[in-house]
Chain A
């Protein structure tokens, strides 16, 4: 990755300016840190897009956020006497390689299968119309506690990712997972009470 040279070419703010911002940020200046992260994000997005051009925008954004979190967690390792960009690029390269390894590991475990129609011998099991009426489902969701309702609406109805739902709702990813799990159990109980399945 020949990122360092291209970075100097792209952006107005220099490496020295970033180093100064980081130094001030290490001292606890919130504004300087916000400005630094915003400047860095623009650069990171370009680097990630160039190195991982096959990824979707969402995946690129996930990687950028991972790098920002990594930068934040090890910001004490930055020595203000040294240039900023080599420090940032070392973290970026490492996180990109880490992401690629993670992708390779998970793709090994995944098995590609054809999407086959699922049919059963009993006629009731092959109904294509809704088993539960939309109105009943809506009422059941409305009856859920607020956190569970929010989780179901965002993750199941609006099909948002966990990160997006977390950003919008302000709930942590763990809390969203728990709320969704509990909501699905609650919905199953509510709907089973009114509709005894015939299969």
Chain B
């Protein structure tokens, strides 16, 4: 064994402290969901009276909300799974199920609106507040998510960041629809669903800056080498 590698091993072992293994991805995702849920509940309480009441008697609305929440949770599980070396990537395909459910309910609503309203359903007059609102209400869950993701291995930075952002934005969209429950139209598809995917794509493109090996190993490199 080369002397420098042997030195490195001795220093790493000498500087090691007891650590607790990370919990399983779904447990971490549940923890993240609870933490973010508390934050969003506080915001929702503060915003009481500023929006419309949720349409809990509308089955399509309920399905849409359940699907959006499922997208947020499953995307969070997937994001936490990607930072564990040796995880089975094929399992990430499970995300397609809630995603299909969400896009399906929103898409079905669009078609329904088009039949009912005609060309008026295609008007893109929706207020621009949706996009920044998804971004702002998703910001704190996204920060929680980023902090938790940095505890793992940056194996697939873009995919991990994209899934993390999808989870945060999906949750923010679920939250937004609680007091923004208009009929589903093409505008909603564009601003809400589009907003979620744009934010996810932006996060994915910058994933390498947030999650990379040099920043993961820097603290140990300075002490060990």
Assess whether B153 is in contact with A91, with CB atoms less than 8 Å apart: yes
A132 to chain B, nearest CB (A): 33
A-B contact count (CB 8 A): 120
Q: What 14 additional pairs, Cβ within 8 angstroms, besides A72-B220, A167-B225? A: A26-B19, A26-B21, A28-B19, A68-B8, A73-B217, A73-B219, A74-B153, A75-B19, A77-B21, A91-B85, A91-B153, A94-B85, A98-B213, A166-B225
Among the listed stretches A32-40, A120-128, A190-198, which one makes contact with chain B, having 4 or more residues with CB under 8 Å of it? A32-40
Assess whether A26 is in contact with B18, with CB atoms less than 8 Å apart: yes
In the complex, A76 Cα to B172 Cα: how many Å? 30
Assess whether B153 is in contact with A94, with CB atoms less than 8 Å apart: yes
Interchain Cβ contacts under 8 Å between A and B, 10 examples: A26-B18, A26-B19, A34-B10, A72-B224, A75-B19, A86-B86, A87-B86, A167-B3, A172-B222, A172-B225
- Answer whether residue B20 sits at the interface, using C-beta atoms and an 8 A cutoff: yes
In the complex, A68 Cα to B10 Cα: how many Å? 12
Of all chain A residues, the one with the shortest Cβ separation from B151 is: A76
**Which residues does B use to contact A, with CB under 8 Å?**
1-5, 7-10, 12-14, 16-22, 24, 83-87, 151-153, 155, 213, 216-217, 219-222, 224-225
In the complex, A37 Cα to B16 Cα: how many Å? 12
**Which of B5, B13, B21 meets A64, CB within 8 Å?**
B5
Assess whether A34 is in contact with B9, with CB atoms less than 8 Å apart: yes
A83 to chain B, nearest CB (A): 8
- Answer whether residue A90 sits at the interface, using C-beta atoms and an 8 A cutoff: yes
- Answer whether residue A159 sits at the interface, using C-beta atoms and an 8 A cutoff: no
Of all chain A residues, the one with the shortest Cβ separation from B4 is: A167
Determine the chain A residues whose CB is within 8 A of the CB of B151 once the complex forms. 76-77
